């Protein structure tokens, strides 16, 4: 039987997973976390599934070596392409971001017409459409790759003069298809959430998988009868594979001024 994980390792291709990390820190303030942003190889969304499996496994092995006993794949692309592979290769539990978002969407939709926006690789994998339909065969899933959203977030562009024409380009399909719920299927996207909500109006509920994932981790930990071990509380540690200054700037924005230690490593 598995014992209660003492350290939780979180990884993403870059800074997007920090939205998950933020929710984890808020919802589970007493847990110990390690975060790895694979910034030397970001973005994953344009890479092949084989490459994503290889990179994801390397990231997990690094986190295990640093003491992680539970892994959260805080990246939709990596979850879509590599989750079953990671679960078969690793001895520790591995949780992804897709199932939590799917569950929340199913609990939210009234019309049974659900939209998904994500990177090209995630959309091509069909994983959201499959997961939704596996639970409700009558559900209609409308998918759209929104490849410019990650660079927009990474660049910190939040002007609606720029965002809205890009939203026109990608999002018109959701009004046309009458979806009432839209899954933000990439961990970068919660940062665009207020602008998306403003553009789409109140008729479409946005599902933020970062929050849903943190809740799933909390539920998972609650399943152990063992108490949380008492560890020395440390400043959250962020490992990155490249360009630590750049990450430091973005992390500060996402995590809202929280103190962080950032360390550059090789995987």
In the complex, least distance from residue 192 CB atom to a second copy, rounded to whole angstroms: 14
Point out which residues bind a second copy (CB under 8 A): 39-42, 46-48, 51, 147-148, 150-152, 154-155, 157, 159, 161-162, 165-166, 168-169, 242-243, 246
- Name the burial class of residue 10, with classes exposed (0-12), middle (13-18) and buried (19+) by CB atoms within 10 angstroms of its CB: buried
Q: Give the CA dihedral 117, 16, 102, 112, nearest 10 degrees.
A: -30
Closest by CA to 60, choosing from 43, 51, 72, 48, is: 72
User: In angstroms, how far is CA 131 from the centroid of its own chain?
Assistant: 16
Residue 26 CB, nearest distance to a second copy (Å)? 28
Cβ closest to a second copy, residue 7 vs residue 124: 124
User: Cβ closer to a second copy: 57 or 221?
Assistant: 57
Contact 92, 71 (CB under 8 A): yes
Query: Which pair of tokens denotes residue 34?
Result: 């390690």
Enter the DSSP assignment of 186.
S
For tokens 């659900």, what's the residue?
114
Nearest CB to a second copy, comparing residues 48 and 248: 48
Of the pair 2, 265, the CB lying nearest a second copy is at 265
Q: Which residues are catalytic?
A: 75, 186
């Amino acid at each position: 039987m598995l014992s209660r994980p003492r350290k939780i390792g979180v990884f993403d291709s870059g800074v997007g997973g920090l939205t998950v990390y933020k929710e984890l820190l808020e919802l589970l303030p007493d847990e110990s976390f390690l975060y790895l942003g694979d910034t030397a190889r970001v973005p994953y969304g344009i890479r092949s599934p084989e490459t994503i499996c290889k990179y994801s496994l390397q990231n997990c092995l690094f986190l295990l070596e640093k003491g992680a006993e539970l892994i959260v794949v805080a990246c939709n692309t990596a979850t879509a392409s590599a989750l079953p592979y990671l679960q078969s290769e690793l001895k520790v539990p591995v949780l992804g971001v897709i199932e939590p978002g799917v569950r929340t969407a199913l609990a939210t939709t009234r019309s049974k017409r659900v939209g998904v926006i994500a990177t090209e690789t995630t959309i091509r994998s069909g994983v959201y459409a499959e997961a939704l339909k596996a639970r409700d065969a009558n559900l209609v899933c409308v998918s759209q790759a929104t490849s410019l959203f990650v660079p927009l977030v990474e660049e910190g562009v939040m002007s609606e003069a720029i965002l809205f024409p890009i939203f026109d380009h990608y999002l018109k399909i959701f009004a046309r298809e009458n979806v009432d719920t839209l899954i933000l299927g990439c961990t970068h996207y919660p940062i665009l959430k207020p602008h998306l909500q403003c553009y789409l109006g109140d008729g479409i509920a946005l599902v933020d998988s970062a929050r849903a994932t943190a809740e799933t981790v909390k539920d998972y930990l609650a399943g152990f009868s063992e108490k949380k071990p008492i560890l020395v509380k440390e400043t959250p540690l962020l490992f990155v594979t490249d360009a630590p200054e750049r990450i430091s700037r973005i992390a500060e924005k996402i995590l809202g001024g929280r103190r962080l230690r950032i360390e550059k490593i090789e995987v």
